[in-house]
Structures are given as C-alpha cells and as structure tokens.
C-alpha cells in the first residue's frame, strides 16, 4: 500500500468516525456546551512525535473533550456555519515532520523523521477555530501573541499565523466566538523550555505567572462562559524525555549496565551540584533524551575507562563530561519542582477566585510515573513502549491525550454537575485479531505501519540522533 493510499484511508476512517461516532448522551447539567472553545499550547493542539499534523490533532485533548460533548470535529469539507469543533488541519507528515519508529531490533531503536513537510489545509475556514491552542504558547502568550506579530522571533508567533489567522490573540479569538464553554490548559511552556535544556534559567517568575494567569481568567470568565483549567505536571520522572536515559553506562547489546573494574555500574560524568561543578552524576539526576547522540560519541564516560572501553580511539568525545544542557541535577530538579508547585498553587487560587474547576493534570502525571491500568491494558511513562507518550518523549500519544482529556471531563462533571462520559482508549485498539477485524468491517484505526522511503530513512531526526549506534556498543559487547 502506498503512503498516499494509507493516508487517504486513515483520513477517511477518521473523518467517518468523527462524523458518526458522536456520543448521543452527553448530558449538559448546568453547563452550556453550545459553543466550546479551547485555549492552550502544544498539548491542546494535539502535537505528537515532534509534529503538528492531522493524524493526531484529531486526538488533541480539546478535540476529545468536544467529541465526548457530542460536538463533531470540523473537516476540510465543513463550512463556517456548521456546528462543529474547528481546529487547524495540517497535512501529514506535519509541521515538524512526524517522528516515526522504524526498528526496535536495534538499541537504541531507530526513529526517523517522516519525509516531507506538512502544510496547513484550512487556513481559509470562515470563522475562528474553536481550538486555538498554539504549540509553544505560555500563559502570557495567550493574550499577547497575535497572528500578525512582526517581527517573528519565536516559533509560537510563526504558528500563530495559521492558527489565529489575523491580528488577534488566542483569547481574542475565543472571546469573539461568544463561547459558552472554554477549555484551558496552559502553563507548560512557562517551564518546559528550561527543563528540556537542563536548566532552571528562563523559568517564568512566579509573580509574572500568577499575574498572567489571573489576567487570562479575568478575560475568559468575563465572557460568561463556563471555564475549566488544569494543574501542571511537577515530576520530570513522569516524562520519557527525562526518565529514559539512565545515569549509568548501558551495554546496548544486553541493555543492562556496563560493569566497571570494581563490578559496579559506571556512573556517567557531567554536571553536578557542587565544586567542582563536574563529576560523577549525582543520584536523582536526570539526563535528557537530547543526550542520546552525545553518548554515542563517548560523552559522559569517565576517561579512566578509556583503555578498557575505547582503546582504539573510536569515540572522539570519550572522557568529555556531558554538557549542562542535557542534565537536570538534583538541585535543578528541586528548583523546577518547587516552581511548578508554586504555579499550581497559583492556578488553583486563581481558579478558585474565578469559581472555575481544576483538572488534576499533576495527579495524572504522577499516575503516569507509577503506571496505571485501563481495562486490560497497562500504561507507563516508558519511552516508545509505555503507550502514554509519543516519540518525542514530551508530548502525549493519542492514548495519552485521551487520558488527559478524561481528567478535564471529570473536572467538568464535578464542577458543573454534568454527566459527560469519559473517552475510551478502546478507540486505539488495533483490533488485529482476525475475527474482531472481520466483525468490525475495518479496524477503527488501522495500525499505522509506516511505509518508509529511502530518503526518510536517511533523514534522521534532528532532536535526538538515535539512528547512530553508539560505538560503545561494540566494545561493551565483547
């Protein structure tokens, strides 16, 4: 099957489901779901695997909530007068071509960029999008960044051009729609950029955050619409970007720690809290996924081991400490957690002052960290295999966004006395069982077995160059 054929089929199935499978029993309680809008960031946009594209934006958490409220998603064929939930639609492989897993028989697994680049497809849609979540947006951006900012210095401004489509902010765009209900999750980008760069520099000051959040809710509550917000995750250990790369040297062949001369695992070297600021990583340190390509060059391996592990000088960076940018030290982690906890306090206080219910997203991520059962399935925050996160290690999978959306549905039901049914992750059963497949006619969402072109396989993802086998592997497997 060609990719085009596969794509067309998937799209057709998605559209059919969006049109047909609308729950008919979304009870409304004291909330009015006539015009539902969403303010948010990359999570709200359904950004997955480093990409914004139509395969996954249909499973953005606001889209899932809207679906459970009985509101169909707008499609490319929808008109401005249709009662549907409009979002930007970007063709596959998306803006930021989607990361794709190619091979799990090797270690690390082979992940590549899908070939090509997606383009926005519904820029002429005749009314503002219901979901104006812009990847990269922080709290203040929701009422400052417009679709016509000049000069464009940040990614969020660039994306705003086709999401906001005019001289308006996210808040302006939703207020203009006279919303009856506003879904809000914002604040992740007030700390994420710092965390992924292994630093606490750049965290939005608490006072700034608090003021911005209050300003945002002032504006939204003034519309008279129902509003729901959510807390922020505080635990890097719940996120594959931070919890995947161990702080000890791993033998790729056995996927177990390489043991040093003393029989102990070899702790990598890099930034530590103390003097000197470089040494064996402290317990509780997190190494980001961004370190993958560095480890492959020998970064982080103590130089004393060179005669044993790299006698022929194949690892150019052997003995070079991992850079600060890929390490969250225990002190940095503590600072980060404390700041996010403060943000959460501010969110809860602001929500309380505005009489707005709060979805427990912090609690959800805490459950991600421990693993959770949904029906017969177990889900964890493991990279690639856990099921909750997408291949960029930061953004959720379709399944993860469904669990995220359910936290919002629970908050809405509790806060507004509604009985909106939770979204089911059963939507994401591959239904590969032959009798199930036969009875279903077609699987709801066919397994997306990627068709790989030569170009695509050569196009390694820029973010984590995981396709290069770490040379240490050869040594360690002897």
Annotate each residue in 444-473 with x if it binds other proteins (CB under 8 A) or - if it does not, as one string. -x-xxxx-----------------------
Question: What residues from 366 to 425 belong to the interface with other proteins (CB under 8 A)?
Answer: 371, 373-380, 382, 384-387, 390, 397-399, 402-403, 406, 419, 421-425
* Phi/psi at 259 (5° precision): -95, 135
The single residue among 369, 429, 451, 460 that binds other proteins, judged by CB under 8 A, is 429
Shortest Cβ distance from residue 113 to other proteins (Å)?
16
Minimum gap (Å) between residue 424 Cβ and other proteins: 4
Q: Does 238 bind other proteins (CB under 8 A)?
A: no
Pick the closer one to other proteins by CB: 66 or 399.
399
In the bound complex, what is the minimum distance in angstroms from residue 81's beta carbon to other proteins? Answer: 28
CA angle (134 as vertex; 128, 139 as ends), nearest 5: 110
Q: Are 149 and 134 in contact (CB under 8 A)?
A: no
CB 157 within 8 A of CB 149: yes
Token pair for residue 380?
A: 């964890």
Closer CB to other proteins, 261 or 434, in the complex: 434
Q: How far is the CB of 449 from other proteins (least distance, A)?
A: 6
Three-class DSSP category at 51: strand
Element (H, E) at 19: helix 3-20
Are the C-beta atoms of residues 137 and 41 closer than 8 Å to each other? yes
Residue 430 engages other proteins in binding (rule: CB under 8 A): yes
Q: Of 444, 424, 419, whose CA–CA distance to 374 is shortest?
A: 424
List 51's β-bridge partners, or say none: 48
**Closest separation between CB of residue 104 and other proteins, Å?**
6
- The interface region with other proteins, picked from 98-106, 115-123, 148-156, 161-169 by CB under 8 A, is 98-106
- 303, 440, 453, 468: which one contacts other proteins (CB under 8 A)? 440
| Cβ–Cβ under 8 Å, residues 352 and 406 | no
Taking CB under 8 A as the binding criterion, the range among 104-112, 201-209, 223-231, 282-290 that sits at the site for other proteins is 104-112
Least distance between other proteins and beta carbon 240 (Å): 12
Shortest approach of other proteins to residue 418 CB, angstroms? Answer: 11
225 phi and psi angles, rounded to 5 deg:
-75, 155
Evaluated on CA atoms 192, 193, 198, 202, the torsion sign reads negative
- The rounded distance, in Å, linking the Cα atoms of 185 and 188 is 8
* Residue 180 Cβ vs other proteins, minimum distance, rounded to whole Å: 22
Site map for other proteins, 17-36, x if CB under 8 A? ------x-x-----------
Closer CB to other proteins, 15 or 384, in the complex: 384
Does position 436 interact with other proteins (CB under 8 A)? The reply is yes
Q: Can you list the alpha helix ranges (DSSP code H) found in 256-360?
A: 292-295, 306-309, 330-353
CA distances to 104, 238, 386, 429, 439 from 377, rounded to whole Å, are 21, 18, 11, 10, 22
- List of residues contacting other proteins (CB under 8 A): 23, 25, 101, 103-105, 109, 371, 373-380, 382, 384-387, 390, 397-399, 402-403, 406, 419, 421-426, 428-436, 438-440, 445, 447-450
């Amino acid at each position: 099957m060609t990719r085009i054929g596969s794509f067309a089929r998937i799209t057709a199935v998605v559209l059919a489901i969006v049109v047909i499978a609308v729950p008919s029993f979304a009870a409304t309680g004291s909330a009015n779901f006539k015009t539902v809008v969403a303010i948010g960031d990359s999570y709200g946009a359904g950004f997955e695997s480093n990409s914004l594209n139509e395969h996954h934006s249909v499973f953005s958490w606001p889209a899932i909530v809207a679906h459970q409220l009985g509101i169909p998603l707008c499609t490319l064929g929808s008109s401005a007068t249709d009662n549907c939930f409009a979002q930007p639609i970007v063709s596959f492989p998306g803006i930021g071509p989607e990361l794709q897993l190619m091979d799990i028989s090797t270690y690390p697994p082979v992940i590549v960029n899908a070939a090509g680049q997606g383009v926005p497809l519904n820029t002429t849609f005749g009314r503002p999008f219901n979901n104006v979540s812009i990847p990269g947006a922080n709290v203040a951006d929701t009422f400052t960044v417009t679709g016509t900012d000049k000069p464009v210095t940040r990614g969020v401004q660039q994306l705003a051009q086709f999401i906001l489509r005019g001289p308006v902010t996210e808040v302006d765009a939703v207020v203009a729609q006279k919303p009856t209900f506003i879904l809000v999750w914002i604040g992740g980008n007030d700390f994420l950029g710092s965390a992924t760069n292994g630093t606490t520099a750049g965290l939005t000051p608490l006072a700034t955050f608090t003021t911005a959040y209050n300003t945002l809710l002032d504006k939204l509550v003034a519309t008279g619409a129902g509003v729901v917000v959510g807390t922020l995750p505080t635990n890097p250990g719940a996120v594959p970007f931070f919890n995947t790369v161990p702080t000890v040297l791993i033998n790729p062949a056995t996927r177990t720690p390489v043991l040093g001369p003393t029989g102990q695992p070899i702790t990598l070297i890099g930034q530590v809290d103390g003097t000197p600021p470089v040494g064996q990583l402290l317990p509780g340190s997190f190494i980001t996924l961004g370190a993958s390509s560095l480890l492959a060059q020998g970064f982080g391996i103590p130089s004393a081991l060179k005669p044993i592990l790299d006698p022929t000088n194949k690892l150019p960076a052997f003995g070079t400490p991992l850079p600060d940018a890929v390490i969250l030290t225990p002190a940095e982690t503590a600072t980060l957690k404390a700041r996010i906890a403060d943000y959460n306090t501010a969110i809860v206080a602001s929500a309380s002052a505005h009489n707005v219910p709060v979805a427990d997203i912090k609690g959800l991520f805490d459950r991600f960290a421990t693993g959770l059962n949904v029906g017969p399935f177990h889900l964890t925050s493991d990279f690639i295999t856990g099921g909750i996160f997408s291949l960029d290690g930061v953004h959720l999978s379709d399944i993860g966004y469904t669990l995220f959306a359910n936290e919002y549905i629970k908050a809405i039901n509790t806060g507004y006395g509604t009985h909106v049914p939770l979204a089911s992750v059963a939507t994401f059963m591959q239904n590969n069982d032959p009798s199930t497949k036969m009875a279903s006619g077609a699987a709801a969402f066919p397994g997306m077995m990627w068709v790989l072109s030569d170009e695509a396989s050569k196009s390694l993802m820029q973010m984590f160059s995981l396709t290069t086998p770490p040379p240490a592997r050869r040594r360690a497997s002897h």
